[in-house]
Amino acid sequence: MTIQSFFPPQRTLMGPGPSDVSPRVLSALARPTIGHLDPNFVAMMDEVKELLQYALQTKNKFTMAVSAPGSAGMEACFVNLITPEDTVVVCVNGVFGMRMIENVNRIGAKLVVVEGEWGRAVDPQALEASLKENPQANFVAFVHAETSTGALSDAKALCAIAKEHDCLTIVDAVTSLGGVELRVDEWQIDAVYSGSQKCLSCVPGLSPVSFSDKAAEVIQNRGIAVQSWFLDQSLVMGYWSGEGKRSYHHTAPVNSLYALHESLVMLQNEGLENSWARHKTMHDKLSTGLAKLGLEFIVPADERLPQLNAVYIPQGIDDAKVREFLLNEFNLEIGAGLGAFAGKAWRIGLMGYAARNENVTLCLAALEEALK
Ligand code: PLP
């Protein structure tokens, strides 16, 4: 049998990511591929860097997109900064904090875990107590927007505590970037990573990262080689720095970077604050509607992420059947529960291009029918 071309169905993506990609971004993806050292491409990369600096609210020179998904951005931050000599405090309140632990353990560094409740923000007092107990700690890591539960942590407060204890900060902003307030320089974040497929509404597969001057210095003076050649940022920096001649490190995902450029241009044109406000407005509409359907949020109102709405599945309702119904009858994807909430919750995303009135209306109408 001859295999035919693949044409995916037209879905509305309201899960934990990837989110709906705007037609503008999809058409940017289809522009002609040029060489990744072509002067036109190099000039566009400089713009991607500048646009990322805006999106992250940073002047960090060391700002770029790792050519791989958010997990690679996470790993790039950990393997470049941390050596077996270091002590890392990881605050955990969901699945993605657990992955930070995995990174620290694989490096062989000393690990201190601040265990938080799943479905709640990280407790700043618990971090403070842990840092007092562990004065040798030199890194603090946490997830700003925990996609597994929909909890938003106070990154500003957590970083301020870390700084009082002379720690460098590593922050997961995969789901937060573009959807909620995030100010890398003002909040003293030393290493931050994100993903293209959440509130930037770009295609999956790229991970924006940014390192403060202090973090860049640590990377440059770490003494031992980074165990991952591909993720060694001191090598990649030569390609992204824009200073002097760019040298080949790996073949950049040219068309995906066109898409990222376009999504960042859209964010710049809308304005960051406007984008944060839009996510909040759509979340308010959705949560009012969900309450009318009798669905209860996992996270208390003041710790909720507007872009990821996790609600308990009502008693007697078949999780998989409902999601299948939404997909088959409405071409609508919502997310299943993850980790401790597998089978117990649904995760409804309102990310980037998907944070629109049409989507909220569709989702509420479809859920109402599914729950009849
Ligand atoms: N961190 C968080 C908070 C995430 O939500 C995700 C993905 O959902 C990741 C990290 C990993 O990103 P990716 O799936 O792009 O590798």
CA of 71 to the centre of ligand 1 (A): 6
Domains for the chain: give ranges and CATH numbers: 12-18+271-371 (3.90.1150.10), 23-268 (3.40.640.10)
pTM over 0.90: yes
Cβ contacts of 355 within 8 Å, gap of 6 or more:
179, 199, 278, 279, 282, 283, 306, 307
**Ligand 1, closest atom to CA 145?**
3
Measured torsion, CA atoms of residues 204, 260, 45, 40, in degrees rounded to the nearest 10: 110
Complex confidence, ipTM: 0.99
Which residue type occupies 264?
A: L
Residue whose structure tokens are 């999956």: 204
Measured torsion, CA atoms of residues 92, 74, 151, 303, in degrees rounded to the nearest 10: 100
Specify the residue with its C-alpha closest to ligand 1, atom 2: 174
CA of 282 to the centre of ligand 1 (A): 22
CA of 195 to the centre of ligand 1 (A): 7
Per-residue pLDDT of the chain (372 residues; tens, 9 = 90+): 899 999 999 999 999 999 999 999 999 999 999 998 899 999 999 999 999 999 999 999 999 999 999 999 999 999 999 999 999 999 999 999 999 999 999 999 999 999 999 999 999 999 999 999 999 999 999 999 999 999 999 999 999 999 999 999 999 999 999 999 999 999 999 999 999 999 999 999 999 999 999 999 999 999 899 999 999 998 887 777 656 667 788 999 999 999 999 999 999 999 999 999 999 999 999 999 999 999 999 999 999 999 999 999 999 999 999 999 999 999 999 999 998 899 999 999 999 999 999 999 999 999 999 998
For residue 191, count CB atoms less than 10 angstroms from its CB and return exposed for 0-12, middle for 13-18, buried for 19 or more.
buried
Measured torsion, CA atoms of residues 281, 193, 164, 224, in degrees rounded to the nearest 10: 180
Strand order of the sheet with strand 345-349? 12-14, 332-336, 345-349, 308-312
Query: What size, in residues, is the chain?
Result: 372
Write out the two tokens for 261. 């450029």
Write out the two tokens for 246. 């760019």
Binding pocket residue ranges, ligand 1, CB within 6 Å: 16-17, 69-71, 74, 96, 143, 147, 172, 174-175, 195
For residue 98, count CB atoms less than 10 angstroms from its CB and return exposed for 0-12, middle for 13-18, buried for 19 or more.
middle
CA of 26 to the centre of ligand 1 (A): 21
- Ligand 1 pocket test: pick from 146, 174, 197, 206 the residue with the most ligand atoms within 8 Å of its Cβ: 174
Cα(100)–Cα(261) distance, integer angstroms: 28
Cβ contacts of 46 within 8 Å, gap of 6 or more:
242
Q: List alpha helices for the chain, DSSP H.
A: 23-29, 39-56, 70-81, 95-107, 124-133, 155-164, 213-220, 233-240, 254-270, 272-292, 319-330, 357-370
Rounded alpha-carbon distances, angstroms, from residue 24 to 27, 86, 187: 5, 44, 32
Which residue type occupies 298?
A: I
Cα(309)–Cα(307) distance, integer angstroms: 6
The answer to whether the beta carbons of residues 209 and 77 sit under 8 Å apart is: yes
